[in-house]
Chain A
Amino acid sequence: MADAAFKQRAHDALADTNLKTAIDRTTGTAETKRAIAVEAFPEFQAARSRAAAIKDHVIANLDHYLIEFERNATASGAQVHWARDAAEAAAIVTKICTDADAKIVTRAKSMLGEEIGLPHALEEAGIERVETDLAEHIIQLAQERPSHIIWPAMHRTREDVATLFFKDHHPPPEADDPAAMVASARRVLRAKFMAADVGISGANFLVADTGATCTVTNEGNAELSTTPPRIHIVTAGIEKIVPSTDHAMALLRVLVRSATGGEITQYTTFHCGPKRPGDADGPEEMHIVLVDNGRTRMIGDEFRQMLRCIRCGACMNHCVVYRQIGGHAYGGTYPGPMGAVLTPVLDGLAQSRDLPHACTMNGRCEEVCPVRIPLKTLLKAWRVRTWDEGLVEKPLRYGLGLWGFAARRPWLYHLGARMALPVMRLFGRGWIRRLPLAGGWTDSRDLPAPAARSFMDQYRRQQKDARK
């Protein structure tokens, strides 16, 4: 099964010590800050349960809420568009831009934008795309994809960022410390904000009863991307609906603590329609693109629970696998545990069959998930499908088949153990350093030699002796 491409990407990532340094610095800080925030919020467990219930309620009534949202957003003057898949969504956005003869488009980070391939689509359409989130700016310069949903450039060390900025920023940063580099990006991007024709943002929430979209940022780039241009476009997954602002606040409390360890983001912004008569600033048009792209397929099965996801990134920050290989090795838009559940939906299981298997099932991801998604159960569900669809590699399949055959026949199994154990011991009495067919273990670990006689064997003899 193990897809060579995944294994190769993981191999390359593991060989990159710079990457490991970068991952450890950011996820380590994130883990600590989240723990402090949770400690300071005794209501967190109850708030998680409520957040999960709110999302479940929304999904169970999604058609109702989408229609309500559409009605209210339209009443505010926004134009609502619907897209069945990524291509359709990207085409809608590109068409709005080209119809408006847009030359420069600013983007406030949105993972959905990545999911629908917006960066590429805008490029194809010959539109200058300016990523305004600092991390997105970094990876735009590096011509990479995000490696984390909250810190897209977390695979880059400060030294890497300095190299990129000194090459691209004119004038270059005054120094190579983070503060000077942030100041330089501020300078470079400020001019673009003011010159943009279209600003594109995502949405953390779509508020049904007001028709507003809500975006959270710490940098303030959402307001700067969406206020000066003539046109504001929002792209959002259909599962982002909440019934009201009140419900958004309940989710916000667990989202921010889980993502960055803050209580609230510096900027929590609600957009509702275009500029009103007399308003001091704001765009003349607002468009909202509601994107399905596989989400409706998840409603009908166990993956419905994945639609609770509010994209906080805590699962990846706490994942032992993510922390070794980083985000790019996963090969999809979304990495880590949530990505391993979502990518097979978005890219197909055959393409991403490794992802549900490249997990130790330690359960830390679901322990920290702010909306209590049973990630382990969902990953196991994908494993069942890989097995049923014949996507599990043959040696493992046959090996497990043989094992299962014996394990279902205890007499055979115990006989086999009596015969096999002494053979195993030919390879060593204490530690075995090499064992044929077990390179997966012995290449990097010694293997304790098995017992000369199994427990069941010894126990039976003891019982016999006792009866004598």
Chain B
Amino acid sequence: MSARDDILAAIRTGLTHGRDGALPRQTPAQIAAEAAALLADPDEIRPALSGPDPVAAFIAKCANPALGVTLERLAGWEALPQAVAAYLTRHDLGPRIAVSGDARLDRLAQLPLETHRDTAPDEAAAISVALWGIAETGSVVIHSAPDQPILNAMLPRHWLVVLDETRILPFLDDYAAPAAPAPRNAVLITGSSGTTDIEGYFVRGAHGPGFVHVLLISR
């Protein structure tokens, strides 16, 4: 017998001859119904949002210093180039940024900046567009795609991420449906990279970015 057969057989033996008594085996439909019932009344098992609406809640979460995030609201996509230039100047990062390839970031070309695609291992700054935001936790979500290199979000010291506020979902569970297409890699990013591995001290920028700046595009 293959390992697969052995393991599945051992599971069935355990479930039907166990010391705790045999479990009645269910049909796939029964299993699905039971699984769905376990998701009933979601408000009983999740925290209340930290603001009156998802956008306010998202902004409130990002204000939590523990996340190591800064957030800036922009009136529209047109305001993006100026905001990016100002950020780079403010942090003394030089006129250079890695850009993910999202067409909406093409407008950065109008700046006197050097923009490029392939994020270097020691890149100072890079910018991506988030697919979703999650108000419950202040997370942004990226899905690997031709115009969404995962490393663009992981390698730089400063990661700038653009999020359209219409893309903010209230709760983590609300992301389950958009997660269904299952890209190769879906990453929920909540704040900057950090570690508490040395005596529990929180240190930013362990492997990923030490600075995350959310550029929130208003409706």
Contacts and interface: CB of A to CB of B under 8 A. Distances in A.
A282 interface: yes
Contact of A26 (B6, B189, B199): B199
A301 B14 CA distance: 8
Pick the most buried of B28, B154, B195, B203: most chain A CB atoms within 10 A of its CB.
B195
B67 to A, nearest CB: 8
B20 interface: yes
B11 to A, nearest CB: 5
Given A46-B44, A223-B208, A224-B208, A297 B173 contact: no
A354 interface: no
A53 B155 CA distance: 39
A457 B206 CA distance: 69
A270 B34 contact: no
B86 interface: no
A14 to B, nearest CB: 20
Contacts of B3: 81-84, 88, 292
A452 B184 CA distance: 76
Given A82-B2, A191-B121, A263 B137 contact: yes
A272 B182 contact: yes
Interface in A142-191: 151-154, 156-158, 161, 178-179, 181-183, 185-186, 189-191
Given A182-B206, A246-B176, A280-B101, A63 B11 contact: yes
B105 to A, nearest CB: 13
B184 A276 contact: yes
B150 to A, nearest CB: 5
Interface in A25-51: 25-26, 28-30, 40-43, 46-47, 50
Interface in B167-219: 171-173, 175-176, 179-180, 182-201, 203, 205-209
Q: Interface size bucket, B side? A: 35 or more
B31 interface: yes
Contacts of B103: none
Given A221-B206, A249-B173, A276-B183, A299 B2 contact: no
A43 to B, nearest CB: 5
B185 A63 contact: no
Contacts, number: 290
Interface string B42-82: 01111100000000000000000010000000000000000
A258 interface: no
A463 to B, nearest CB: 48
Contacts of A210: 179-180, 182
A188 B199 CA distance: 21
Interface in B64-116: 66, 100-101
Contact of B196 (A224, A260, A273): A260
Contacts of A88: 3
Interface in A234-293: 238, 243-247, 249-250, 252-253, 260, 262-276, 278-282, 290, 292
Given A84-B3, A266-B189, A300-B14, A186 B45 contact: no
A269 B197 contact: no
A42 to B, nearest CB: 8
B149 A281 contact: yes
A219 B196 CA distance: 9
A76 to B, nearest CB: 6
A296 interface: yes
A148 to B, nearest CB: 10
A299 B15 CA distance: 6
A247 to B, nearest CB: 7
Given A57-B38, A135-B197, A264-B172, A219 B207 contact: yes
Given A260-B196, A264-B188, A301-B20, A280 B7 contact: no
Given A266-B192, A269-B185, A297-B10, A247 B149 contact: no
Nearest to A305: B20
B145 A66 contact: no
Given A82-B7, A194-B121, A264-B190, A182 B203 contact: yes
Contacts of B183: 272, 276
B207 A224 contact: yes
Contacts of B207: 132, 186, 189-190, 193, 219-221, 224
8 contacts: A43-B43, A134-B206, A183-B205, A220-B207, A244-B35, A253-B172, A267-B193, A280-B145
Top-10 shortest CB links A-B: A220-B208, A299-B14, A296-B10, A280-B149, A300-B14, A29-B200, A219-B206, A300-B18, A135-B197, A82-B3
Given A220-B193, A301-B20, 16 more contacts: A47-B45, A82-B2, A134-B195, A158-B199, A178-B199, A219-B193, A220-B208, A220-B209, A226-B185, A253-B45, A268-B139, A280-B101, A280-B150, A281-B149, A292-B10, A300-B15
